[in-house]
Chains A and B, each alone.
Chain A
Amino acid sequence: MSLNYEAAVEKYEPTLGLEVHVELNTKSKMFCSCSTEFGGAPNTQTCPVCLGLPGALPVVNGKAIESTILIGLALNCSIAPFSRFARKNYFYPDMPKNFQTSQYDEPICVNGYLDVEIETDEGLKPFRVEIERVHMEEDTGKSLHVGGATGRIHGADYSLLDYNRAGIPLVEIVTKIVGGTGKYAPQVARAYVTELRDILRSLGVSDVKMEQGSMRCDVNLSLAPIGSGQLGTRSETKNVNSLRSVERAVIGEVVRQSNRLEAGERIVQETRHFQEESGQTRSGRSKEQAEDYRYFPEPDLVPVVPDSAWIEELRATLPEKPSTRRARLKAEWSVPDKEMTSLVNAGLLDVVEETINLGAEPARARSWWLGEVSRLANEREVDPTTLITPSQVAEVIALIASGDLTDKLARQVVEGVIAGEGSPSDVIAKRGLKVVSDDGALMAAIEAAIAAQPDTAERVRGGNIPAAGALIGAVMKATGGQADAAKVRELLLKHLGQL
């Protein structure tokens, strides 16, 4: 009999570790002046340095250092007074030098933390995720596998390499071992990545789009029997491309590992791949024989010794902490705790704020994003913010407020926008969804309904107001649901002498 998640966490204690890679939004690459712009034609953004040509040498992008320090400060880290780059040596065709210039035992930021809030059975609870280190490194090129069935590596005949991405600055943020989450491990993981994303966005150092790869999350997980006081063998899951996937990956791994342990099987220390469709993880490269990276200090680069006065200057530029901002918005919008947490953990705070800034009433903005838009997003298994923009939502809300749309019609409009039919106005025009509130048109429909149900009309004239419902229903049907129901009622009752 196999364990499900709930059963698994009754027997086993999960321990998490999260590694997040962030692509910085500097204009030029980490060690050379090639452009970092996304989407360029292959190998149009390379040079001797990022191609690793013989004789080429790296020169550090000062902006990247600044961005990394800002990230460290925002995560409450200490900034190392002395830090160095190191070579991480291994062979892979997407790495031109066959070593990655990274940082090893002297990273630029250490020992920070990030506080999150999660919903538990006992209400909202804070949780502190400790951060081990934040360091700088460089991204690899992109490979296209040709000849295999699915464009994946296995079975490919050959590969094509584009080095435009090679050398783009990456910041790696590594948590310390995260224990004590109990059954809330998936929520903690998701809340951490969400909060981290919000912070990075507020710093303006990256566009942190998980779907585009500018923020990547690796989830490390191990299980141990509850109360054993030991740590199990961990697996590392890659290819986690959305906040939702973070949560699902944790759940998937807890279930997989617990079932193996129940069956008396050993957990293999390995890298696994998260599979969007199934929520499961697939085995990848075995890390049993961990690659020996032979780290040593990068001789082509000199140490980074940030001036403490400069660090304080940077600290002063830190934007409002997301937690402070949340508290402020919560007060401004008068939002109950639970709803606020839902908003935050769904990663919707920014879009809601933007929608409100565009004129929408706060409660409506929240209810649309958390309600209808999230529902549609879950159906499609995507992030709500990828479906529709704040300005589009604000437009819909405004149209409801002005009476041009009813809630029901508005839902159709939203669907249309999501389906790619254009802006809310475009959808309304194309589908002819505008509320019919023109008295003349309505009266025509009302008279038609009365003519079709003369007995019901008589009853209303006789004082039976509820009976009007059938007539209103008929008018709504006749107008394809586009009549303003309240207006119809008003006109109908007036016409029948009851108003």
Chain B
Amino acid sequence: MTSIRSSASEMAAALASGETTSVALTEAHYAQIEKVDGDVHAFLYLDKEGALAQAADVDAKRQKGEELSPLAGIPLALKDVLTQKGIPTTCGSKMLEGWRPPYDSTVVTRLKNAGVVILGKTNMDEFAMGSSTENSAYGPTHNPWDLTRIPGGSGGGSAAALAAFEAPLAIGTDTGGSIRQPAAVTGTVGVKPTYGGVSRYGLIAFSSSLDQAGPCARTVLDAALLHEVIAGHDERDSTSINAPVPQVVKAAKKLDVKGMKIGVVKELQGEGFQQGVLEKFHEGLDALVSAGAELVEVSCPTFDYALAAYYLIAPSECSSNLARFDSMRYGIRVGDNGERSAEEVMKMTRHEGFGPEVKRRIILGTYALSSGYYDAYYGSAQKVRTLLMRDFNAAFAQADVLVSPTAPTTAFKIGENVDDPLAMYLNDIATIPVNMAGIGGMSLPCGLADEDGLPVGFQIMSPAMRDDLMYQVGGALEAALLSKWGAPLLDKAPVLAGN
């Protein structure tokens, strides 16, 4: 009997068999949202009307016997960084409060075409900058495992929605780990496809050469199904890969890693990683070995510089991407009393509209690009990128995929790191190199840390254009762990009573 705790593919089977309807499924999820979101605060906006209309449409088509996409009628939560026509899109910022885009992002178009039911927009760190969702102008999201803790960031809302069973599928975006790290600390699955694998048209830009939208779910297979809906070439995105979508569903179902070489990255296991995180990571390694894979130690020395380079490139690109928010054409406008100049109104608006982290990064980026400093900062960071790619290439010559813990710690308390930007940035230490090189990365749960009982994420990295490899290893690992645990990890999460 399917419930909101089922996987998306189980729900799809139930829809196909007639056991339930999309409308019923959608209503059940809204009921759950009503019950728990007061505590979790995963959602910023709910589009009941649109969702139920989509659900009804899918049900009608199914009645007529029309051919439907595998995920037709399944509910989904959308990170509020992707435009959805006529629906408020805020990017977690005051700057875009109330803004309703006049166009759909390509991701949304593909979801709609596939009949997926978009329940609403999820909370996030403002303009995707952060690792805890505490930078949202609309209040933080709370980790369903422990409501006093962060759900990760910047896509904490999507991950929390999954972990709280408010949706079986979600879309996130990942620039330095914003899909994977929230997945790790909420015990869910999150994937960043190869750069260019999913269209960025309608993805409100933070760092253009690093941003990627990706699938989030509770199982690897669900993520794969969603991946195949949203991925593919888009002529509106010049950086979009012009090649067929990798067969990730097939790979996820393989459940075979015999003879595969798993590269364990030396630089991502030592200092700074919580004991319990390392333990669970090693349990994951053991599971892979038991399944017939071979471990290989690889070294990527440039990883030590990845964080520094990222915090030069991303702020630089964002300082330029966020320049358009000047109150002239959309967004809030502050201080226009009929006497001030456009310049003054711009300055006041940007002061009010942007939060401290966004301002910090804009200033940092402006500095890194400014004349006299370009070579030393932005220019050097782009060179580090080249070196990172070389390290990855060398490592992939020795192993099929690379692995590491996704995040150095489990979910920390809300408020714990807010005053220490550098400490906050360290959350991305294992995820950033993946974005910098443009390759694929996945996080899936590998256990609960002994010391705090909180989820630990296992990261799998695959070579560019070979997303299928991470799904293959991920699917097999998930199956091995499930068999070891007897039940999905999320069964251990506290059941939220709500009000």
- Which A residues are closer than 8 A to B by beta carbons? 48, 51-60, 87, 89, 91, 93, 96-99, 157-159, 161, 292, 294-296, 299-302
Contact = CB atoms under 8 A, between A and B. Distances in A.
B339 to A, nearest CB: 9
A57 B324 contact: no
B63 interface: no
Interface in B333-348: 338, 342-343, 346
A335 B447 CA distance: 92
B238 A56 contact: no
10 contacts: A48-B101, A53-B329, A53-B330, A54-B204, A56-B202, A58-B238, A99-B320, A159-B342, A294-B366, A296-B378
Contacts, number: 101
Chain B: number of interface residues, binned into ranges: 35 or more
B209 A55 contact: no
B135 interface: no
B53 interface: no
Given A55-B201, A97-B323, A301-B238, A296 B316 contact: yes
Contacts of B236: 57, 59
Nearest to B83: A55
- Interface of chain A, main secondary structure: loop
B338 A54 contact: no
B369 A294 contact: yes
B323 A302 contact: no
B84 to A, nearest CB: 10
A199 B85 CA distance: 46
B323 A89 contact: yes
Given A59-B236, A296-B316, A302-B238, A54 B374 contact: no
Contact of B320 (A57, A89, A159, A161): A89
Contacts of A52: 324, 329
A98 B326 contact: yes
Given A89-B323, A296-B374, A59 B238 contact: yes
A98 B346 CA distance: 11
| Residue among B325, B328, B370 with max Cβ neighbours from chain A (10 Å) | B328
Given A57-B238, A87-B320, A292 B208 contact: no
B208 A300 contact: yes
B317 A299 contact: yes
Contacts of B324: 52, 54, 96-98
A158 B341 CA distance: 8
B238 A55 contact: no
Given A53-B101, A296-B316, A299-B209, A93 B342 contact: yes
B47 interface: no
B contacts with A: majority SS:
loop
B78 interface: no
Given A55-B204, A300-B208, 10 more contacts: A55-B101, A57-B236, A59-B236, A91-B346, A93-B326, A157-B338, A158-B338, A159-B342, A161-B329, A294-B370
Nearest to A301: B238
Contact of A57 (B91, B96, B201, B330): B201
Among B205, B323, B342, the most chain A Cβ lie within 10 Å of the Cβ of B323
Given A294-B366, A300-B208, A53 B102 contact: yes
B331 to A, nearest CB: 8
A57 B237 contact: yes
A98 B342 CA distance: 13
B103 A292 contact: no
Contacts of A57: 200-201, 236-238
Contacts of A299: 207-209, 239, 317
B369 A296 contact: yes
B238 A300 contact: yes
A299 B200 CA distance: 12
B242 to A, nearest CB: 11
B132 interface: no
A87 B239 CA distance: 16
B235 interface: yes
Nearest to A85: B238
Nearest to B211: A299
B499 interface: no
Pairs of residues from A and B, 9 with the lowest C-beta to C-beta distance, nearest first: A98-B323, A299-B208, A294-B369, A299-B209, A54-B204, A55-B202, A55-B204, A55-B83, A52-B324
Contacts of B200: 55, 57
B329 to A, nearest CB: 6
A54 B95 CA distance: 12
Contacts of A51: 329
Nearest to B371: A292
Contacts of B328: 93, 161
